[in-house]
């Protein structure tokens, strides 16, 4: 199996883990703040935001262009805050729908990449892993721990 196939499969599996971590949470619970100034809802908005930011980056890489100008994402906290702020009044059901849609679009952008771009050292590897499997698992683990602790 190629690196690309493995990475795509791992991203889908990790996304399923994330969905399972939030499965059954009601709107009020998803809005409860417990991670700094965020609840589950904001975590999911932030994940969708990074999907939407990385889709054009992956598309540029597929064309042989740089993913984004140097320094664009140096301040992750500011980007994260922007994603959440833009979606302040969005219904939780719509946050969930956007999470699903953005994941599908993110994965489609990755599928379109030449295999070499997702191989070790390939230009798309880091942006894909950063917004994909590793990101999903990081937040799924936080959410599961929060739920175990009585969240």
What are the tens digits of pLDDT across the range 3-15?
899 999 999 999 9
Q: What is the mean pLDDT of the chain?
A: 94
Instruction: State the distance between the two ends of the chain, measured CA to CA, in whole angstroms.
Output: 40
What are the tens digits of pLDDT across the range 30-46?
999 999 999 999 999 99
Q: Which residues contact 19 (CB under 8 A, 6 or more apart)?
A: none
Task: Name the strand (E) or helix (H) holding 102.
Answer: helix 92-111
What are the tens digits of pLDDT across the range 80-95?
999 999 998 999 999 9
Tokens of 106: 């993110």
Specify whether the CB–CB gap between 110 and 124 falls below 8 A.
yes
Specify whether the CB–CB gap between 113 and 132 falls below 8 A.
no
68-81: b (≥16 Cβ within 10 Å) or e: eeeeebeeeeebbe
What are the tens digits of pLDDT across the range 53-65?
999 999 999 999 9
Q: CA 121 to CA 4: how far, in whole Å?
A: 12
Q: In the prediction, which pLDDT does 68 show?
A: 82
pTM passes above 0.75? yes
Domain residue limits, the chain: 3-148
What architecture does CATH give domain 3-148?
Up-down Bundle (1.20)
Q: In the prediction, which pLDDT does 18 show?
A: 98
């Amino acid at each position: 199996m190629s690196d690309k196939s493995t990475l795509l499969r791992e991203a889908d599996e990790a996304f399923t883990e994330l969905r399972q971590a939030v499965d059954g949470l009601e709107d009020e619970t998803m809005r409860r703040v417990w991670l700094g100034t965020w609840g589950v809802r904001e975590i999911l908005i932030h994940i969708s935001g990074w999907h939407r930011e990385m889709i054009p980056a992956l598309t540029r890489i597929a064309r042989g262009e740089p993913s984004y100008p140097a320094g664009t994402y140096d301040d992750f906290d500011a980007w994260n805050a922007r994603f959440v702020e833009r979606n302040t009044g969005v219904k939780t059901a719509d946050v969930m729908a956007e999470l699903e849609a953005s994941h599908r679009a993110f994965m489609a952008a990755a599928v379109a990449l030449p295999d070499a771009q997702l191989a070790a050292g390939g230009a798309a590897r880091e942006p894909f892993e950063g917004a994909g499997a590793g990101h999903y698992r990081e937040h799924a683990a936080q959410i599961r721990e929060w739920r175990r602790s009585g969240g």
